[in-house]
Every structure is written in structure tokens, then in C-alpha cells.
Amino acid sequence: GRWCSWGSRSSRSSPRRWPGASGSFWSRTPTPRPWRRGGRCSSGSIRSRTTTWPRSRRSGSWRASPWASTTSTSPPAGAAGSPSQNAGAAFAVDTADYGVGLVVAVLRRLAAAEAHVRAGRWAADGDYPLTTKVSGKRVGILGLGNIGSRIARRLAAFGCAVSYNSRSPKPSARYEFVPTVRELAAGSDVLVLSCALTEETKHVVNREVMEALGKDGVLVNVGRGGLVDEPELVRCLQEGVVGGAGLDVFESEPNVPPELFSMDNVVLSAHRAVATPESIRGTIELVAGNLDAFFAGKPLLSPVQL
């Protein structure tokens, strides 16, 4: 059947409106409504073939955003006997592509070089200064999940030496595990953030980590803005403690520290890493498949282990 709207748990970012195929998806918290399978398509419902299944009335932050990190085919996670599902790898491919794009853009100063041409300075002032290469760089990845592992594979194809830090070593990973974020930064030319934001990872990239990354090091964040101590990042960039940054996420979106706007060694993006029609369509199809599996009594396609 056709999906007209669907509920999800969203990140704690500022309320935003995202364009959808037939209207808009809002990340504001709506009044809980039943999930429907069958009947008319209406706000807060899913149109398919069979069954109406009510949401729990338990309070919680339920939001209709296709960019949410977790969606559920059940009452809020934690309710007794309630299976939950997440977006799985639906967003991972596009986010990994974007993360690699930011690495290339910062190291090769693509935004600044383009601005040089657009301003007519190539003809007036001559060539834009040479920039550093991407191939062969040491890349540290914080969070080797669906996104981080794909970033690792892509950058390994550039000939980069990849290492990573996560909650625990990944037995299947062929990259070096580094036990602390500071050590990871100290051994990297590029530090890529692709992990979840939790109490443990909030401001995990602080001044100490940035000093370890060094004056030629580059920070790329496609995870969550709160992973980085943002005021400290601004100071480190101003003081030359780190060499550059590629940022798709910020701590108080859509507000961005204005000091970053004039920095040629910084590439800024408005939380667009996952925002492609393909990734949205893939997520809708995944949610549909999970609901079909749930109502058929089969295992979910992308279950969350609680």
C-alpha cells in the first residue's frame, strides 16, 4: 500500500521541517495517534492492507522525521514486549559518500578554490595555492558501525591507512583498533566522527583530542554536533591548533558559529549527508518491510537490540 506518513523517534536537534514527496515531514512532537494499516490515509497513519494497531499512550518524543535515527513498529522502546527497529543501512551509503566528500573537500580546499574562481581571482591574482593530497593519509574513524565501516572501505580504496575506535573491537574489522579517542587522533591525519551521541560521547572531541590531532590534522563530522566541543573547535581553528574541518552537523542546529563562515579551511554543510530521495525511499521501504514482518509474526528486518 501507499505510505502517507509514519512515526519515528528523532534525534534531539532543533525542530525542523523537511520536504517530502507529498507534503512535509516535521520533527516536532505530534500528538500520539493510532498507526493504521488499511482505510483512509490520514495524518499519523500508514495505509497498507490490513489491521489497525494503536500506539501506546505512554509519553514519549514521537516525531515524523525520515532522518530519525530510530523508527519503531511498536510502542516506545522499553515498553514490555515491544520490538523496535531502526533505519539499518538505509542512510549509511549516502552518509558515507558524503563523509568521504567532506574529507576530499577539506584537504583539497574545494570550496575555497571554487570561490577563488567565481570571484575572478584566478585571472586577477593567479593560481590558487597548492593543497595536500588525500591518498595515503592516516584516517581515524570514531564509530565503526554501518556508516563508519563504509567510510573506512571507501577511504581504504584511496590508499589511506584506516584505524578506528568504538565501544569494543570489531572482530570482523580488518582495521587497527585504537583504545582511546586521543590516541586515535594522535595517530591520524584525518579524524572522522560517525558514532552516536550519548552521555559518554558528548563532547568526546575536546581540546585535548584536537591538540593530539595537530596543526595539520582535519576533523570531519557526519555524526552529531554534540560529539564536538564546538566553542573549543572554533578556538582551535582560530589558533591553528588543527588544520581544518568538514562539518555537516552542529550542536545547536540550525545555528552555526559565525566565526566559521570566513574560514577557508572549513567546509560547512546543513545536515545534508543523508538527505537524498534514494535514502528516504529506502527507509520508507524498510519501515514497510518491518511492519509486514511484525504483523506476519516474522523477525524484523532491522531490529534494535535493547
Catalytic residues, which ones?
A: 224, 253, 271
Q: Are residues 70 and 84 in contact, defined by beta-carbon separation less than 8 angstroms?
A: yes
Instruction: Enumerate residues 6+ apart whose C-beta is below 8 A from 218.
Output: 103, 106, 107, 189, 190, 191, 242, 243, 244, 245, 246
* Number of CB atoms found within 10 A of residue 267's CB: 25
User: Could you tell me where the beta strands, DSSP code E, fall in the chain?
Assistant: 8-9, 17-20, 23-26, 35-36, 52-53, 62-63, 70-71, 85-86, 138-142, 161-165, 176-177, 190-193, 218-221, 244-247, 266-268
| C-alpha atoms less than 13 angstroms from C-alpha of 114 in its C-beta half-sphere | 7
Cα 105-203-161 angle, rounded to 5 deg: 45
Cα distances (angstroms) measured from residue 103 to each of 30, 86, 100, 119, 280:
37, 27, 5, 24, 24
Residue among 295, 296, 294 nearest 83 (CA): 294
For residue 302, give the nearest of 128, 92, 20, 44 by alpha carbon: 92
Integer Cα distance of 294 and 97 in angstroms:
32
Q: Which residues are 164's β-sheet partners?
A: 141, 177
The length of the chain is 306
